[in-house]
């Protein structure tokens, strides 16, 4: 084999791996902060459900909305449902977050469902 061909192939491989690395960094830069904020909202909903014995459905809905605003999530009140009954609390929050990339926008759909028994303390 010719030595020039091997060197050129190595450079091409390096460029491809570098390009893949750049794409991975770009995706991570957009997606990781969103995933952290959405996980914080879901954790908040779980904690809220554990100790929701005395709060009305509307109060719980308002608290979820406040947390979403604090986390800068595009959640609107009509997309939050809270129902208590039969010793359980059920909460649901649905929303979408667009992730902007050069030449492409990915719409990430979130649907947080919490269904827990109500503990009377």
**pLDDT score, position 50:** 85
Model pLDDT for residues 95-115, shown as the tens digit of each residue: 999 999 888 999 999 999 999
Contact 103, 81 (CB under 8 A): no
C-alpha closest to that of 81 among 68, 95, 94 = 94
HEC letters along 35-102: HHHHHHHHHHHHHHHHCCCCCCHHHHHHHHHHHHHHCCCCCCHHHEEEEEECCEEEEEEEEEEEEEEC
Model pLDDT for residues 22-33, shown as the tens digit of each residue: 888 988 898 999
Dist CA 114 CA 52 (whole Å): 12
Domain-embedded: residue 95: yes
Q: Which helix (H) or strand (E) holds 6?
A: helix 3-50
Model pLDDT for residues 7-50, shown as the tens digit of each residue: 556 788 888 999 899 888 988 898 999 999 999 999 999 999 88
Q: The domain containing residue 92 runs over which residues?
A: 30-117
Dist CA 92 CA 86 (whole Å): 17
Domain-embedded: residue 22: no
Domain-embedded: residue 25: no
Q: How many residues does the chain have?
A: 121
Domain-embedded: residue 3: no
**What is the number of domains present in the chain?**
1
Contact 36, 71 (CB under 8 A): no
């Amino acid at each position: 084999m010719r030595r020039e061909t091997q060197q050129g192939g190595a450079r091409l491989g390096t460029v491809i791996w570098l390009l893949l690395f750049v794409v991975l960094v770009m995706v991570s830069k957009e997606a990781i902060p969103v995933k952290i904020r959405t996980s914080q909202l879901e954790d908040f909903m779980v904690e809220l459900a554990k100790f929701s014995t005395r709060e009305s459905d509307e109060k719980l809905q308002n608290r979820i909305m406040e947390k979403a605003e604090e986390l800068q999530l595009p959640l609107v009140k009509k997309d939050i449902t809270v129902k208590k009954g039969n010793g359980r609390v059920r909460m649901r929050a649905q929303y979408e977050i667009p992730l902007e990339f050069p030449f492409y926008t990915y719409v990430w759909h979130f649907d947080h469902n919490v269904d827990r028994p109500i503990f009377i303390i």
